[in-house]
């Protein structure tokens, strides 16, 4: 086989490329296997490097039996070769190539090929290549460079990549006897290579039009501020064959006057490439409202018109408001304490959230899933099931939503923004930079120990016009819940390299660096107030405000043995810190189609730590006493109120009656006072606090958690 190392091809993964140019081409060869179905199409052929009855080579169909092919996602009819079922003996160095019939490219100076690709890489030794011959198959050129392992494969998932496009003009243009081929090498000798696969479908060799330009995207978020100038930037795609050196870039707002920028001196805007444009005439929204902006290019290379018009123009919608507010992004995660994929995702998620804590609020719901999770036991049936299954229609864990946009396994979402394979800093920062049409001021966020009631009051102000129906969601969360032991059923302690703290995993176990993530869980959702449906908001006009007031009475224990887990050998499986917070966010369940805002989008969020309101308990005439927080992981405040001057003593005893600390406050003036018991150095357990004055005495339990 002749190999050509020149990188003359330009690979493009425009998601909608084929959809936009199917009518703008001359088809030279097309094969979708729909006619031949389960047999090789007429005129096609294949060759393998060994002769063995078990080596089936390339096979054709829509679904296959066997141990591996049945796992390939449905893709109508296609051609595939895999080592598990079709490429035995796999320990032999098998080369399996699928060849097309000959076809002519005479009269065409530009020739492209598009096809759908399935390429699952198991060991990294496999290669899959697109090859082209212009002499009827006597010599071949490898289009995908060997230095990158050939065609783009996926080592993690068996997936189809649709509409990959290559420029094969350097080998096929104006030749009369062209053939293409798909060559697969299994990477052997390697006895473990029993699962790789290479498949193709919808093969289309075509000659594009010379001039075919389309505006693919613009970069501004949907929100604008009245009176502020905005410069439009974006991406233009060259679907045609000729390079573009100059063009007119145009936009028009609400059907008004055309604004034109003559762009010259463009370099490298060849076929199947993109160009980042910037328009030199800014747009300033004159008033609040919705604006539709259309973008298109013409006067290509001076005098040439676009030869295919359906893909020319991009329309984008914007909402102008009186004042764009700084935005706190909202991230919601669905996870489970016995979920290995959740564990594997945690380092990235934690890192991104820590790096963006100043612009992003976080809530983690513990979701129903086979496996042990005491937090899920307490919350799933009360609100998490509704949030996960009914509202977000999640199909498992881990799952995550950034401003209501799914980021597991992840994408940039329907709004303009950076593409993503998962939660990442670029997406968080983009969402924050978008700004918000709302501000949220939390007036109070309190807990009253006497009544075990959490209460929140928040004021939501709008800077634009919105119809009734937006939702204000309020979530109470525990900053950190820490397990005493590893409770995961998918990642028990035995799966980590003993002793914990070493640097490598034994026998395929989970690396030790993950061990802290099965013990400590941050931002755990405890309740949604008043419920998963949130609070429905009335319509807003610019500058108007609405206040929400919600509360929740504690109805489950977090601090100790929530489900009577004595069978597991410990009656205090996990504990929580005293720190808790409220998070409030405004969500648009229906979305705003007029400006491209998707359903479930979160406009704004805010959070506040819970403060304690101490309702003092009368223990004797004119003497009131209370401790908080209790249970605690650290210090505890003793608050007391006395009606007249008298002596005060505070003593702490362990459960066997030994006094471990004493505080003689002496003669204390009438009024309210506080004293802090330092519990940081105390062992976990139950202690007795004795509070004594001249005419009163009481003893209360203090629970120290570690």
Amino acid 99: pLDDT: 97
Which pLDDT does position 30 carry in this prediction? 97
Task: For residue 491, give Cα distances in angstroms to 350, 367, 506, 613.
Answer: 19, 17, 13, 41
Output the pLDDT for position 318.
Answer: 96
DSSP 8-state code for residue 16: T
Per DSSP, the residues of 168-179 read -HHHHTT-SBBE
Is 116 in the same domain as 227? no
- Domain of 427 in residue numbering reads as 329-612
Name 581's bridge partners.
Answer: 477, 609
First to last CA, the chain: 68
Cα-trace Rg, the chain: 33
pLDDT at position 142 is 92
Angle at alpha carbon of residue 102, lines to 96 and 106, rounded to 5°: 135
**Other beta carbons less than 10 A from residue 5's beta carbon:** 9
The span from the CA of 281 to the CA of 582, in Å, is 45
Whole-number pLDDT of residue 2: 28
Highest mean pLDDT among 294-303, 609-618, 654-663: 294-303
CA distances from 671 to 504, 623, 642, 643, 691 (A): 60, 10, 5, 6, 16
Give the pair of three-digit tokens for residue 286.
């004159």
Residue 597 CA to residue 587 CA, distance in Å, equals 11
| Residues 535, 490 share a domain | yes
Does residue 4 lie within any of the structural domains?
no
Q: 19-28, 91-100, 247-256, 437-446: which has the minimum mean pLDDT? A: 19-28
487 and 585, same structural domain? yes
Give 483's strand partners. Answer: 574
Q: According to the model, what pLDDT value does residue 91 have?
A: 64
Q: Residue 368 in contact with residue 538, Cβ under 8 Å?
A: no
* Segment 373-396 mean pLDDT: 88
pLDDT of 692: 94
Provide the pLDDT confidence category of residue 9 given band limits of 50, 70 and 90.
very low
Q: What predicted TM-score, i.e. pTM, was given to this entire model?
A: 0.74
CA angle 226, 227, 228 (to 5 degrees): 95
CATH number at residue 581: 2.60.40.10
Same domain, 487 and 382: yes
Task: Give the per-residue pLDDT at 410.
Answer: 41
Q: Which uninterrupted H or E stretch holds 499?
A: none
Tokens of 112: 């492209």
Q: Are 167 and 272 in contact (CB under 8 A)?
A: yes
Lowest mean pLDDT among 86-90, 397-401, 677-681, 687-691: 86-90
How many C-beta neighbours within 10 Å does residue 384 have? 21
Residue 426 is assigned to a structural domain of this protein: yes
Beta-carbon contacts of residue 383 (< 8 Å; ≥ 6 apart): 525, 527, 528, 531, 532
Q: For residues 9 and 145, is the Cβ–Cβ distance under 8 A?
A: no
- pLDDT at residue 197 in the model: 87
SS3 343: helix
687 in a structural domain: yes
Q: Go through the chain and tell me how many residues it has.
A: 706
3-state secondary structure of 616: coil
Residue 124 has pLDDT above 90, yes or no: no
User: In the chain, pLDDT over 70 holds for what percent of residues?
Assistant: 86
Highest mean pLDDT of the ranges 4-8, 83-87, 246-250: 246-250
Domain boundary among 552, 582, 612: 612
pLDDT band per the 50, 70, 90 thresholds, residue 664: very high
What separation in angstroms does the CA of 653 have from each of 202, 576, 688? 78, 23, 5
Q: Which of 208, 224, 240 is the last residue of a domain?
A: 208
Q: What angle do CA 57, 58, 62 make, to 5 degrees?
A: 135
Same structural domain, 537 and 580: yes
- Tell me the pairing of strands 636-642 and 223-225: unpaired
In this prediction, residue 53 carries a pLDDT of 65
Q: Which residue, chain included where needed, has tokens 């090789």?
A: 40
Q: Give the residue among 100, 244, 109 at the shortest CA–CA distance from 178.
A: 100
Identify the pLDDT of residue 18. 42
In the structure, what pLDDT confidence band is assigned to residue 17 with cuts at 50, 70 and 90?
Answer: very low
Query: Does 419 reside within a domain?
Result: yes
pLDDT: which is higher, 145 or 313: 313
User: Which tokens in the block code for residue 636?
Assistant: 């505890």
- Same domain membership, residue 197 and residue 121: yes
What is the average pLDDT across 532-558?
92
469-509 pLDDT, tens digit per residue, is 999 999 999 888 877 778 888 888 888 876 665 555 454 56
Q: Is 522 among the domain residues?
A: yes
Say if residues 130 and 144 touch (Cβ distance below 8 Å): yes
CB 657 within 8 A of CB 616: no
What is the pLDDT at residue 189?
53
* pLDDT confidence of residue 569: 47
Count of domains forming the chain: 4
Please check whether residues 460 and 593 belong to one and the same domain.
yes
Residue 194 has pLDDT above 90, yes or no: no
pLDDT at 577 over 80: no
pLDDT of residue 418: 47
CA 545 to chain centre: 32
The confidence score (pLDDT) of residue 561 equals 46
- pLDDT score at 144: 64
Q: Quick one: 50 and 123 in the same domain?
A: yes
Q: Are residues 221 and 250 in the same domain?
A: yes
166 & 284 share domain: no
Mean pLDDT over each residue of the chain, to the nearest integer: 85
Nearest Cα neighbor of 640 from 654, 630, 650 is: 650
Higher-pLDDT residue of 269 and 679 is 269
Buried b (16+ CB within 10 A) or exposed e, 82-111: bbbbbbbebebebbbbbbbebbebeebebb
Cβ contact 127:187 at 8 Å: yes
Which residue in 640, 612, 645 sits closest to 697, CA to CA? 640
CATH number of the domain enclosing 79: 2.60.120.200
Q: Answer with the residue of higher pLDDT: 686 or 130.
A: 130
Q: How far is CA 435 from the centre of its chain?
A: 20
Most confident listed range (105-109, 187-191, 567-571): 105-109
Query: pLDDT digits over 677-691, tens only?
Result: 988 778 888 899 999
Residue 547 has pLDDT above 70, yes or no: yes
Q: Given pLDDT bands bounded at 50, 70 and 90, which one contains residue 20?
A: very low
Across the range 635-659, mean pLDDT stands at 90
Phi then psi for 23, rounded to 5 degrees? -85, 0
CATH number of the domain where residue 644 is located: 2.60.40.1930
Nearest to 204 by CA among 160, 168, 240: 168
Q: Give yes or no: residues 103 and 39 share one domain.
A: yes
pLDDT of 234 strictly over 90: yes
Provide the pLDDT confidence category of residue 63 given band limits of 50, 70 and 90: confident
| pLDDT exceeds 90 at position 171 | yes
Residue 8 lies in a domain: no
Report the relative pairing of strands 617-620 and 78-82 from DSSP bridges: unpaired
Most confidently modeled range among 77-91, 250-264, 481-495: 250-264
Domain boundary among 208, 226, 250: 208
Interval 98-104 mean pLDDT: 97
CA angle 509, 512, 515 (to 5 degrees): 100
Could you tell me the sign of the dihedral formed by the alpha carbons of 171, 175, 181, 185, in that order? negative
Bridge partners of residue 154, in order along the sequence: 120
Q: Report yes or no on 10 lying in a domain.
A: no
Same domain, 280 and 417: no
Domain contains 676: yes
Say how far apart CA 706 and CA 687 lie, in whole Å.
14
């Amino acid at each position: 086989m002749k190999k050509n190392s020149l990188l003359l091809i330009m690979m493009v993964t425009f998601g909608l490329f084929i959809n936009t140019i199917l009518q703008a081409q001359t088809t030279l060869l097309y094969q979708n296997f729909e006619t031949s179905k389960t047999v090789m199409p007429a005129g096609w052929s294949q060759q393998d490097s060994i002769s063995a009855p078990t080596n089936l080579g390339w096979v054709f169909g829509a679904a296959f039996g066997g141990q591996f092919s049945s796992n390939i996602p449905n893709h109508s009819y296609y051609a595939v070769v895999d080592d598990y079922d079709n490429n035995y003996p796999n320990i032999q160095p098998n080369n399996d190539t699928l060849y097309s019939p000959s076809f002519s490219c005479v009269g065409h100076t530009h020739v492209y090929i598009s096809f759908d690709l399935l390429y699952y890489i198991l060991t990294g030794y496999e290669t899959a290549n697109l090859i082209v011959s212009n002499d009827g198959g006597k010599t071949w050129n490898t289009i995908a460079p060997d230095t990158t392992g050939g065609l783009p494969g996926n080592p993690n998932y068996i997936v189809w990549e649709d509409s990959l496009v290559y420029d094969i003009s350097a080998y096929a243009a104006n030749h009369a006897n062209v053939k293409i081929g798909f060559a697969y090498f299994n990477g052997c000798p390697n006895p473990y290579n029993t699962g790789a696969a290479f498949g193709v479908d919808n093969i289309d060799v075509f000659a594009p039009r010379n001039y075919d330009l389309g505006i693919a995207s613009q970069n501004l978020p949907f929100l604008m501020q009245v009176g502020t100038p905005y410069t439009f930037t974006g991406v233009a795609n060259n679907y045609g064959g000729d390079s573009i050196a100059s063009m007119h870039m145009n936009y028009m707002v609400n059907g008004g006057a055309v604004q034109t920028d003559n762009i010259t001196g463009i370099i490298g805007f060849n076929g199947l490439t993109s160009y980042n444009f910037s328009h030199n005439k800014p747009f300033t929204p004159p008033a609040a409202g919705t604006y539709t902006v259309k973008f298109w290019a013409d006067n290509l290379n001076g005098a040439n018109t676009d030869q295919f018009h359906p893909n020319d123009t991009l329309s984008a919608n914007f909402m102008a408001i009186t004042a764009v507010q700084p935005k706190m992004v909202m991230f919601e995660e669905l996870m489970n304490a016995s979920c290995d994929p959740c564990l594997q995702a945690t380092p990235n998620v934690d890192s991104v959230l820590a790096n963006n804590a100043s612009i992003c609020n976080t809530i983690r719901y513990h979701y129903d899933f086979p496996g042990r999770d005491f937090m899920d036991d307490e919350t799933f049936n009360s609100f998490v099931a509704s949030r996960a299954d009914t509202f977000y229609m999640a199909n498992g864990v881990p799952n995550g939503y950034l401003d209501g946009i799914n980021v597991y396994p992840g994408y940039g979402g329907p709004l303009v923004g950076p593409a993503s394979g998962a939660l990442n800093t670029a997406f968080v920062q983009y969402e924050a930079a978008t700004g918000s049409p709302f501000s949220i001021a939390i007036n109070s966020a309190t807990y009253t120990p006497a009544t075990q009631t959490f209460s929140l009051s928040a004021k939501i102000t709008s800077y634009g016009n919105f119809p009734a129906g937006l939702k204000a969601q309020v979530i109470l969360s525990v900053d950190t819940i820490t397990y005493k032991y590893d409770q995961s059923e998918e990642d028990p302690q035995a799966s980590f390299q003993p002793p914990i703290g070493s640097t490598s995993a034994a026998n395929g176990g989970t690396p030790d660096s993950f061990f802290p993530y099965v013990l400590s869980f941050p931002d755990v959702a405890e309740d949604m107030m008043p419920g998963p449906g949130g609070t429905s908001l009335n319509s807003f006009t610019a500058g108007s405000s609405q206040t929400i007031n919600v509360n929740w009475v504690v109805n489950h224990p977090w601090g100790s043995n929530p489900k009577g887990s004595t069978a597991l050998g410990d009656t205090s499986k996990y504990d929580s810190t005293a720190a808790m917070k409220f998070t409030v966010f405004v969500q648009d369940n229906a979305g705003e189609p007029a400006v491209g805002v998707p359903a479930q989008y979160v406009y704004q969020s805010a959070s506040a730590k819970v403060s304690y309101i101490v309702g003092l308990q009368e223990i004797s005439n004119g003497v009131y006493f209370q401790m908080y927080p209790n249970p605690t992981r650290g210090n505890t405040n003793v608050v007391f109120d006395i009606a007249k001057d008298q002596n005060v003593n505070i003593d702490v005893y362990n459960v066997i009656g030994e006094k471990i600390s004493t505080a003689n406050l002496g003669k204390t003036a009438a009024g309210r006072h506080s004293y802090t018991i330092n519990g940081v150095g105390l062992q976990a357990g139950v202690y007795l606090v004795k509070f004594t004055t001249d005419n009163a005495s009481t003893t209360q339990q203090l629970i120290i958690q570690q």
